[in-house]
Amino acid sequence: MADEVKLYRTWSSPYGLRIVWAMHIKGIEYENVFEDLSQKSPQLLQYNPVHKKIPVLVHKGKPICESLVILEYIDETWKKETTPLLPQDPYEKAMARFWAKFVDDKLLPSVWSVFTEKGYEAKKEALVPAVQNLEIIEEQLKEKKFFGGESIGYVDLALGWMAYLLDVFEETITQWGVYPVRTKCSPQSAYPKGRGYGRVCNSCGLSWGSQNVREDEVKLYRTWSSRFSLRIVWALHIKGIEYEAIFEDLSHKSPQLLQYNPVHKKVPVLVHQGKPICESLVILEYIDETWKKETTPLLPQDPYEKAMARFWAKFVDDKLLPSVTSVFTEKGYEAKKEALVLAVQNLEIIEEQLKEKNFFGGESIGYVDLVLGWMAYLLDVFEEVIDLKLFDANKFPLLSGWMKNFCDAPAIKQHLPPRDKLVTKYQLLHEKYQTTSN
């Protein structure tokens, strides 16, 4: 069938259940294919050769992986079915993406850590950041029935595991005498409530909702060398957007940075019309959706192609970048050589995506190119500092050509950090990593 939909999942995966719930909310008929992860099917390995994990949604014979990517694909493909999962306003949509990412990157791992730690004292210690993260997410439910407003939306689905798993975890670990997670928070809601990223930053008593700002004012809080900030710099210049760059000293963070990003307290932060947007991938999508008429879009318009771009951007941040960074930070030649194996494997995977293309975005720089941009100027800096070959142009001819094309583009070339300063910075960092005890 042309419109056939299949979902590869397990019966209990919280990531798979996100998709189940979304499909039923949208009223989409689909076939469940239940996987035994101890004996993964050839179909699963075919559809998700990179991670070899569930969930995988297969629509019209095309696979979409990663639960948050799948949720956006569902929302963009079946637009007419019920209420949208994501808000239509670019800023509200950016906030939903921010909080879904917070759930996956911070909240879920912190709660899981309480479950997996060995012994009473270790569990009690792990409970502290879990409760702090619950307090942060609690704040987002003020005066709302759901995170999506009056109906279940994207963040609700991302956080849905908490509504049924917390008491299971609590019952399981009571033998350790660990105080239940939920009772540390307000008993008034099924979700917890706290200090975070709302209209008012309680930790500093400042708000941004009533500030007098120009309607088109754009500010970017960054550092001179942050690879995540540079993604935003390049995107703004590609789009031709005027902005004010505010350089932060991360050893003495400004009150403004702490006000605009009280959750992570990091750069980059884009402030548009007085409203902050954090997390570089979230900011890139906000820029693309807010300034639609400026130049070529950063993301494809087709929902499937857009899902693929999001998948590969996530792969860069979750797999490729950490594996390359690990080569830099490991102590000693043998440890670095061992770490290099995984980095090269990830480079091989990325190389495949450039076949018959100048850029990952096609004929022009797009979303994935910007996310991977750090590689075009940092790899040879790393090689000089650690005296180890990381990148073989003969082995990776497509990536080698892409790196040159990327750095030669005017919007990129004019805004690369000085190489000599980068070498000095990373020499000092490398020395620190090599001499600091674990």
> E strands of 37-196, at which residues?
56-59, 62-65
Tell me which residue of 312, 319, 313 sits closest to 284, measured CA to CA: 313
pTM for the whole structure: 0.92
CB 100 within 8 A of CB 295: no
Q: Which pLDDT score is estimated for 168? A: 93
- At position 135, the amino acid (one-letter code) is E
The confidence score (pLDDT) of residue 213 equals 58
Write out the chain's pLDDT in tens, 438 residues. Answer: 567 999 999 999 999 999 999 999 999 999 999 999 999 999 999 999 999 999 999 999 999 999 999 999 999 999 876 789 999 999 999 999 999 999 999 999 999 999 999 998 999 999 999 999 999 999 999 889 999 899 999 999 999 999 999 999 988 887 555 555 554 444 334 333 333 333 333 333 333 444 555 668 999 999 999 999 999 999 999 999 999 999 999 999 999 999 999 999 999 999 999 999 999 999 999 999 999 876 789 999 999 999 999 999 999 999 999 999 999 999 999 999 999 999 999 999 999 999 989 999 899 999 999 999 999 999 999 999 999 999 999 999 999 999 999 999 999 999 999 999 999 999 999 999 999 876
What confidence score (pLDDT) does residue 216 get? 81
Burial class (CB in 10 A: 0-12, 13-18, 19+), 50: middle
Q: What is the pLDDT of residue 209?
A: 45
Domains, the chain, with CATH or none: 5-77 (3.40.30.10), 90-197 (1.20.1050.10), 206-286 (3.40.30.10), 303-435 (1.20.1050.10)
Contacts by residues 341-349 (CB-CB < 8 Å, ≥ 24 positions apart): 343/390, 346/315, 346/319, 346/320, 347/320, 347/391, 347/396, 347/399, 348/396, 349/50, 349/315, 349/320
Give the Cα separation of 67 and 58 in Å (integer): 13
Task: Using DSSP, state whether 4 is helix, strand or coil.
Answer: coil
Structure tokens at 256: 């403004």
pLDDT at 231: 98
- pLDDT at position 191 is 38
Q: Which residues contact 212 (CB under 8 A, 6 or more apart)?
A: none
105 DSSP assignment: I
Cα 389 to Cα 328, 331, 337: the distances in Å are 11, 16, 10
